Structure 1
Amino acid sequence: MTAYEPTGAPDAATAGHDVAYDAVVLAGGGARRLGGADKPGVRVGGRPLLDRVLAACADARTTVVVAEPRTTARPVTWAREDPPGGGPLAALDAGLRHTTAEQVVVLSADLPFLDERTVRRLLSALRAADADGALLTDADGRDQPLVAAYRATALHRELAALTRENDGLTGLPLRRLTGALALTRVPDPVASFDCDTWDDIATARARIREHGHVLDEWISAVKDELGLDLDVDTKLLLDLARDAAHGVARPAAPLTTFLVGYAAAQAKGGQGGPEAVAEASRKAAALALRWAEEAAAQRRAVTLSGPPGAPTTTSGVCNAARLKPVTSSA
Structure 2
Amino acid sequence: MPDPAPPPAPTAAPRPAASGPGGFDAVILAGGEARRLGGLDKPGITVGGRSLVENVVAAAADARRTIVVGPERPIPGVRFVREDPPHGGPVPALAAGLAHVTAPRVALLAGDLPFLTRAHVRALLAAAPPGGGAVMVDDGGREQWLTGVWPVAELKRALAAYTGRSLKGLLAPLAAARLSPPGRPWFDCDTMDDLEEAHMHVLNEWTALACAELGIDPATVDRDLILDLTKEVAHGVARPAAPLTAYLLGLAQGAGTAPEDAVAKLTTLAKNWSREAPETLTGG
| TM-score when normalising by structure 2 | 0.64
2:19/2:122 contact within 8 Å kept: yes
What is residue 21 of structure 1 aligned with on the other side? 24
Q: 1:181: Cα distance to partner?
A: 2.1
Gap change, CA 1:213 and 1:88, over 3 Å in 2 = farther
| Distance in 1 between residues matched to 2:206 and 2:40, nearest whole Å | 30
Q: What amino acid maps onto 2:66 in structure 1?
A: T
What is residue 11 of structure 1 aligned with on the other side? none
What is residue 153 of structure 2 aligned with on the other side? 153
What is residue 94 of structure 2 aligned with on the other side? 92
> 2:176 is matched with which residue: 163, 180, 183?
183
Q: What amino acid maps onto 1:180 in structure 2?
A: P
Q: CA RMSD in A?
A: 2.4
> 2:33 is matched with which residue: 16, 30, 35?
30
Gaps spanning 5+ residues in structure 1: where? 1-15, 217-234, 243-330
Q: Percent identity?
A: 46
| Distance in 2 between residues matched to 1:116 and 1:187, nearest whole Å | 15
Residues 229-286 of structure 1: CA deviation (Å, up to 9, x unaligned): xxxxxx9xx7xx99xxxxxxxxxxxxxxxxxxxxxxxxxxxxxxxxxxxxxxxxxxxx
What is residue 49 of structure 1 aligned with on the other side? 52
Aligned residues: 195
Q: What amino acid maps onto 2:127 in structure 1?
A: A
| Distance in 2 between residues matched to 1:28 and 1:95, nearest whole Å | 12
Question: 3-state DSSP class of the match of 2:80?
Answer: strand
| Distance in 2 between residues matched to 1:131 and 1:185, nearest whole Å | 15
What is residue 195 of structure 1 aligned with on the other side? 189
| Distance in 1 between residues matched to 2:117 and 2:71, nearest whole Å | 24
List structure 1 runs of 4+ shifted beyond 6 angstroms: none
2:131/2:154 contact within 8 Å kept: no
Question: 3-state DSSP class of the match of 2:120?
Answer: helix
| Distance in 1 between residues matched to 2:32 and 2:118, nearest whole Å | 24
What is residue 279 of structure 2 aligned with on the other side? none
What is residue 173 of structure 1 aligned with on the other side? 166
Gap change, CA 1:121 and 1:41, over 3 Å in 2 = same
The residue correspondences of 1:230-241 to structure 2 (distance < 5 A) are none
What is residue 119 of structure 1 aligned with on the other side? 121
> 2:83 is matched with which residue: 60, 81, 84?
81
| TM-score when normalising by structure 1 | 0.55
Gaps spanning 5+ residues in structure 2: where? 1-17, 216-284
Residues 207-246 of structure 1: CA deviation (Å, up to 9, x unaligned): 1121577649xxxxxxxxxxxxxxxxxx9xx7xx99xxxx
Q: 1:76: Cα distance to partner?
A: 0.3
1:131/1:182 contact within 8 Å kept: no
